[in-house]
Amino acid sequence: MPEARLAASGRDSVIGGISGWIMVGAILLGLAAALFLLNLSRLVPPAAWPALLAGADDLRAIMARDGLAPRFCAGLLGGGALGLASVVLQQVLRNPLAEPGTLGIFAGAKCAIAASIIWAPGLLSLGWDLPALAGGLGVAVFVLLFSARSGFAPATVTLVGLIASLVFGAFGTMLVLTHFDTLGDLYIWEAGSLIQNGWGSVLALGPKLGLVSLAIVLLMRPLSAMQIEGAERLGVRTSLVRGATMLAAVGLSALVASTVGLISFLGLAGAAIARGAGARRLSTRLIAAPLIAAGLLVLTDQALLALAGGIEIPAGITVMLVSVPLLLWMLQRTPVASSAPAAMSAPMRLQVGTAPAFIGLGSALIASFALATTLGPGPDGWQLAHGRLLAELSIWRLPRITAACCAGAMLAMAGSLLQRLTRNAMASPELLGISSGTALMLLVATLFLPGLDRSGTAALSCLACLAILGCVLRLSRRSAFAPDHLLLIGAGLGALLASLLSILLVIGDPRILRVIGWLSGSTYSVDAAEARAIVLATALALLLPLPLVRWIGLMSLGEPVGRSLGMPIAGARLAIVLVVAVLTGIATLFVGPLSFVGLMAPHLARRLGTRTALAEIYGSALVGAVLMVLADWAGRTIAFPWQIPAGLIATALGGAYFVMTAWKR
């Protein structure tokens, strides 16, 4: 009898689970279909719908038959494909947070398409599928190579994927900034617009997605067997299965990206809702996640059409705004398997000692300042400025070099404090979303509060940074500040910033070019007065850690140790958070949110042998200053006369550094 009751209970739970995800999918698709019919009735009265099939050729009939209807079908195909790709990626990597956006596949597709438009337009004669597939596949191989040594641990895969997204995203932004006339329209495509001008794209996309989906169905059995311990002894060729399924998932993502744009987090949302609605087995999730993701996308798109009042807002933006809160909820409810914080990395190999390290870093800062001030290309080639020419150039060069130096120092100090506060070597203002969130607030202030002066904007920046940092730490505390949770929270805030930026692009605000440059970490708009202000702010900021030095040192030992030694945990945490907020807020105000300095500088400072908390903080400041000065100089010279923002150069350098570190480890 107990066995019978258990079996009956199991059958009931399966039936309940199936009913759950079917119900969710049916509700989403039903609402989307109802809104589609509403939008259709606004174009063509229901009594005239038969005429659409008969080939009516008036303007409204054409808009309905060749615009609205294929748009609805494109949403179904694109959403379903992204849901299926996310399930496959999560299964093969054993990572519930894997999806094309977090693994950098979309960033690679964007870079490849942008490069093809500039240098190889002939490749696009057959469409964007091939470049998108090549770029996405290249980044996927990159992520797999650098995650293989860890056995594809979720934290490592997520970290490498996010680094790949930042690096390739920075490269793509460089291309757009230097070829804006050619690539300006990519921003609309990147936002994930479902606009269709006929059935051609849908009819071409459907069979391709069908073939790739069939390949996934054929791979389902070995893919399920991979989860069994010792699968290779049972005859499962795990490497071959992993490669084939990854190729299929990248193919689905690339096909959707080339047709409707980049719709990040949609697949993650579909897979998460499917699991929450009872789809536990792989075979069930392969049906449920595409169904739910397709419903989410078409429902969002049709709702925007019904409510936007004629303004075309890409569905990818709104889907992201819905999916990011879902991601944060997932991180709260379902901790990732590897939830231990990343240990603070000890100095490796190169250890020169504290005093020699500071002497060397000080000399490097002076040398980099001199290099950036005197050496650069001009109309007649490279030249070393001196005398009158140096005096004339210094008016333009010194303010931006000073701003880069000071901002790099403050971001590096903030990164060091965050890593000690969370005992997480991967914490930084950039990756935790603090810089992006602060930039989001400053972007809103720039566009909607234009009367604010520099001091008012600085105060708003620091307050926004404080609020966002408090939110990030609150959301991450349950998982003990696990690296994967912190990084994905940062990715979510970065996605929100990208969504707002895309909305502004759709609206067509003429100030967008200036905003894009600032968000990329540009220093070339800094004048002498602003340079003096940031020097003063940095001088004061260097004093902020001094009263907290004992608490900072104890914080890295953990709360139990600090409490036993009489440290007020809540007060210490609040004080450090306030200092980080001020440092990040001021630095972001001058150079934007995009760089790796806050993450990379503390690692380099520890490698040089800075042992105490205070030595690490100030050593990080020197490293950050040197890195940003060199990044600003490189951005000014490598593509002369074009100007590459220092933040993009720093992101590329930081990504390369962490790639090498991950490979060595």
Q: Which helix (H) or strand (E) holds 178?
A: helix 154-178
pLDDT digits (tens, 9 = 90+) for 142-197: 888 877 776 777 667 777 787 787 778 777 777 776 777 777 677 667 778 888 88
Give the pLDDT confidence of 366-382 residue by residue, as tens digits: 999 999 888 888 777 78
Instruction: Enumerate the H helices of 423-558 as residue ranges.
Output: 434-448, 454-476, 483-507, 512-519, 528-541, 549-555
> In this predicted model, what pLDDT tens digit does every residue of 304-359 receive, in sequence order?
888 876 667 777 777 877 777 766 666 666 544 444 445 454 444 444 457 888 88
CB neighbour list of residue 48: distance below 8 Å, 6 or more residues apart: 56, 61
What is the rounded (10 degree) CA torsion for 36, 38, 41, 42?
A: -110
Query: 383 has which bridge partners?
Result: 376
Cα distances (Å, whole numbers) of residue 193 to 159, 185, 190, 300, 309: 28, 12, 8, 11, 17
Nearest to 82 by CA among 247, 221, 219, 255: 255
How is residue 149 written in tokens? 């040594």
pLDDT tens readout for residues 653-664: 777 777 676 666
Q: Which residue in 406, 403, 425, 401 sits closest to 415, CA to CA? A: 425
User: pLDDT for 504-515, tens place per residue?
Assistant: 656 666 666 666
Q: What is the Cα–Cα distance from 358 to 440, expressed in whole angstroms? A: 35
| The token pair that represents 638 in the structure block | 């490598």
Q: Which residue has tokens 């400025």?
A: 385
Q: What is the pLDDT of residue 336?
A: 46
The domains found in the chain, sorted by start residue, are 12-226+237-333 (1.10.3470.10), 362-370+398-664 (1.10.3470.10)
Residue 384 has phi, psi (to 5 degrees) of: -100, 110
